[in-house]
Chains A and B, each alone.
Chain A
């Protein structure tokens, strides 16, 4: 039984990782344009190509700007919203949560085209503006918001409802009570929401595709590369991205395991 499940998991991981490793390996392929899968010696030429590609750098910059702005705005707005929702009565909360869940259940493509309709109409209304960074940022904030709210809500619900009152009771203004007591309490949820919003924004293709006009983001750039028949640059890009993500995750993992170890030892001391 153990052996069977081991083989099963091995095959599953082979299925999940083989394509990625093939990409990474072929990113070091020296062959020019012949084929994506003929190996002709180790080379870093595609990496060099990549870094000379102005379009790539522009789209990478756009993606980062959008992700930073969208995740920051959606985190602030979403935190406020979560606190507000928590204070609503049952009926109103239900309505608001349905509105919140809707974009998550709705297929991305429908969210994308509906926002496109809005932005096109708005751009026309405000005098022949074009879709671009601004519309992208609005769109990204929109699809990030529900995830931020959903990562904060459980923290708020776990929180003792008297905590903010206790702070006010001890002399805090409502604003001080929020920053001194409520925010530290829900911080893990806020951080999770922020990270989630950031990665969703960086990764988004479908909604961006419909709301970007001619502006390029990294996923849109990747998409245009895959449309070209042969473009080994993309392998290099994949390898780089995968490497970066791997590195980030390893760092995060080490930090969290260190932290949990620290709290464990604290617990033991106590």
Chain B
């Protein structure tokens, strides 16, 4: 099913002060989709957005809008609108005038403007706030004004630069739902930038995972989660145990000193690979010779499940389970074949996926430090 792409980037390269930010960057965005650029800070996702918005001229490469080259087109001539990180509302204008700004610039009649502003404020639930000073609004309200202001311009594409970053958790969840609703309602293409993987997974039709100025993987949230392409994606999206393995033959992979049936094929015989196993896909049981066995090191109650760190021959596994185990207990670990995911080796191999230095990675925006390899 080939979708019409509304925006495409071809071979984009950008550097600031000699530091490359994007290199050989290609991306194509389907009309009417909710696409998310996801990556740690400094990965080039905001720069990508600013190139599409027209605020950054790429050093090389081209930007196409509906098939037309717009690389050199200034921002005010592009049919895209942006919601900025801190909203960039005009402090000298009230809510009404902020929303009306774009239409006034385009010389619309005041009558048409009044109608449209009313419609927009209805949509974002801000009826009655017309003559408020924008500085007196709460963060969430300012966010809504920014959305109304951008959409009043009837853009073909809406660019959102970490728009929910400044809101507290509860509000963020509400706005996620609301943004998704608005996107469905209007049918406008949304290009959303975030470093929050959960946000990306729950809102998007398509997720573009970026790191170090390059795309690591593009896919639906499900693809990205279940079939990560490399250790970076596996680690950045959710929790993963990433082990060194060897692909013995199709459907047979060896790791942790044992051979496992799996559902992956097409690797060279005896190719070294990375093996990903999600913590929630691991079953624990009484230890026996058939299974991997390990020592429970740490158990944390997380509400719905227990998070268990298990030492298996020096490699620390993370397991999420509803069964209670005690610290110091010896347990067996088993994994179903379809829950083993095999990836080719990449530059990220060996940097992630061992929980020996694990300490509740709260901030997803913090780039994971290279961890010492636990398993030899």
Contact = CB atoms under 8 A, between A and B. Distances in A.
B88 A170 contact: no
Interface in B63-116: 74-76, 80-82, 84-86, 88-92, 101-102, 105-106
B53 to A, nearest CB: 6
B82 A166 contact: yes
B75 A169 contact: yes
Nearest to A158: B91
A162 interface: yes
Contacts of B84: 160, 162, 165-166
B101 A167 contact: yes
B136 A267 contact: yes
A180 B149 CA distance: 15
A267 B135 CA distance: 10
A170 B136 contact: no
B105 A170 contact: yes
A168 B136 contact: no
Contacts of A160: 84, 86, 88
B176 interface: no
A174 interface: yes
Given A266-B133, A270-B133, A169 B81 contact: yes
Contacts of B132: 270
A184 B94 CA distance: 13
A162 B86 CA distance: 8
A165 B92 contact: no
Interface in A186-213: none
Interface string A147-185: 000000000000010110111111111101100110011
Contact of A162 (B54, B85, B105): B85
B8 interface: no
Say whether chain A's binding surface is mostly helix, strand, loop, or mixed: helix
Contacts of B53: 165, 169
B90 A181 contact: yes
Nearest to B90: A181
A162 B149 CA distance: 15
Given A185-B92, A266-B133, A270-B133, A168 B102 contact: no
A176 B132 CA distance: 24
Contacts of A185: 90-92
A74 B314 CA distance: 72
A170 B79 CA distance: 9
A270 B153 CA distance: 28
B55 interface: yes
Contacts of B81: 169-170
Given A162-B85, A270-B133, A168 B75 contact: yes
Interface centre among B74, B84, B136, B153 (most CB of A within 10 A): B84
Given A169-B53, A169-B81, A270-B133, A163 B90 contact: yes
Nearest to A183: B92
A145 B106 CA distance: 36
Contacts of B133: 266, 270
Interface in B217-259: none
Given A165-B55, A184-B92, A170 B102 contact: yes
Nearest to A267: B136
A91 to B, nearest CB: 10
Contact of B76 (A163, A169, A267): A169
A186 to B, nearest CB: 10
B92 A172 contact: no
Contacts of B76: 168-174, 176-177
Contacts of B153: 170-171
A177 B89 CA distance: 13
Contact of A171 (B89, B92, B106): B106
A187 to B, nearest CB: 8
B145 to A, nearest CB: 12
Nearest to A164: B88
B264 to A, nearest CB: 45
Contacts of A169: 53-54, 75-76, 80-82, 150
A4 B163 CA distance: 57
Contacts of A171: 76, 102, 105-106, 153
A89 B18 CA distance: 14
Nearest to A173: B76
Given A165-B55, A166-B82, A267-B136, A172 B105 contact: yes
Interface in A27-61: none
Nearest to A160: B88
Interface centre among A166, A172, A174, A185 (most CB of B within 10 A): A166
Given A167-B90, A174-B74, A270-B132, 11 more contacts: A162-B84, A165-B75, A165-B88, A166-B90, A169-B80, A170-B150, A180-B101, A185-B90, A185-B91, A267-B136, A270-B136
Interface of A: 89, 160, 162-163, 165-174, 176-177, 180-181, 184-185, 266-267, 270
Across the A-B interface, give the 10 residue pairs with the lowest CB-CB distance, nearest first: A170-B102, A162-B88, A166-B88, A168-B75, A162-B84, A171-B105, A184-B92, A169-B82, A168-B76, A270-B136
Interface of B: 17, 53-55, 74-76, 80-82, 84-86, 88-92, 101-102, 105-106, 132-133, 136, 149-150, 153
29 contacts: A89-B17, A160-B88, A162-B86, A165-B53, A165-B55, A165-B75, A165-B88, A166-B82, A166-B90, A168-B74, A168-B75, A169-B53, A169-B76, A169-B150, A170-B101, A170-B105, A170-B150, A171-B102, A171-B106, A173-B74, A173-B76, A176-B76, A176-B105, A180-B101, A181-B90, A181-B92, A184-B90, A184-B92, A270-B133
